[in-house]
């Protein structure tokens, strides 16, 4: 029974939709409605995971980290280009732009605060000390900001800053809606990306020597 106003109620059918039906409805819905926006983000994230690699779920945590980190490197270059097109050319302005994305995604925490929270040394990069889930959230932040800057032809430093912040905030909201762990609360892996790469290289060399 649903309320139709003036104290009146009406009985309606409860319909169970297939996953594909949900996909069609959500992807063709009005993104200004929160439930639609959250649904579109969910399907976009799942599609992106599938694009990364077909057997993503079968990879080890280290392999997932490497795959997503490599994607981050490529997409950060594209994001930097989009930011430059929006009017961000000075390296200091780009640092502010990147920081705004972190602040949106991490509930106000910027790169400096995240760095300290992870207990990293000054020379260590934040992205190299993230687990696959945290990296995936940041990858989605970067790709969606890149696309929005280009699609809407956003111009001006402040507009670009605001765009990155809002996209990061929206990704954070989606994580919350899905019942996920906030990125700042995710554990920091013991191994860095560089360590994993060195270990893989050693295994390759050893395998080659054995052959």
pLDDT tens column, 127-179 = 999 999 999 999 999 999 998 999 899 999 999 999 999 999 999 998 998 88
Number of domains the chain is built from = 1
Name which of 97, 74, 80, 89 is nearest 150 in CA terms: 80
Q: Quote the domain boundaries for residue 85.
A: 2-190
CA 157-158-161 angle, to 5 degrees, is 90
pLDDT of 50 > 90? The answer is no
**Average pLDDT value for the chain:** 87
**Domain presence at residue 209:** no
pLDDT in the model for residue 53? 58
Q: How far is CA 195 from CA 2, 73, 127, 199, 203, in A?
A: 57, 17, 13, 6, 12
Q: The whole model's pTM is what?
A: 0.70
**Domain presence at residue 201:** no
pLDDT in the model for residue 157? 95
pLDDT bucket at 205, cuts 50 / 70 / 90: confident
pLDDT tens column, 14-41 = 888 888 888 888 888 888 888 888 788 7
**Domain presence at residue 65:** yes
pLDDT tens column, 93-125 = 999 999 999 999 999 999 999 999 999 988 899
**Domain presence at residue 141:** yes
**Domain presence at residue 206:** no
């Amino acid at each position: 029974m649903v309320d139709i106003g003036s104290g009146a109620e009406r009985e309606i059918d409860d319909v169970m939709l297939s996953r594909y039906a949900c996909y069609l409805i959500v992807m063709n819905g009005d993104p200004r409605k929160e439930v639609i926006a959250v649904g579109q983000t969910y399907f976009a994230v799942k599609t992106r995971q599938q694009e990364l690699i077909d057997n993503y779920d079968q990879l080890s945590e280290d392999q997932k980290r490497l795959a997503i980190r490599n994607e981050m490197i490529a997409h950060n270059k594209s994001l930097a280009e989009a930011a430059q097109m929006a009017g961000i050319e000075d390296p200091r302005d780009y640092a502010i732009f990147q920081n705004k994305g972190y602040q949106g995604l991490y509930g106000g925490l910027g790169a400096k605060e995240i760095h300290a929270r992870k207990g990293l040394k000054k020379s260590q990069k934040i992205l190299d000390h993230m687990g696959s889930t945290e990296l995936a959230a940041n990858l989605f932040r970067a790709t969606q900001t890149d696309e929005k800057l280009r699609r809407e032809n956003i111009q001006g430093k402040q507009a670009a800053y605001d765009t990155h912040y809002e996209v990061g905030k929206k990704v954070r909201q989606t994580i919350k809606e899905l019942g996920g762990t906030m990125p700042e609360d995710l554990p920091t892996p013991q191994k860095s990306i560089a360590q994993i790469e060195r270990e893989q290289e050693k295994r390759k060399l050893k395998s080659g020597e054995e052959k």
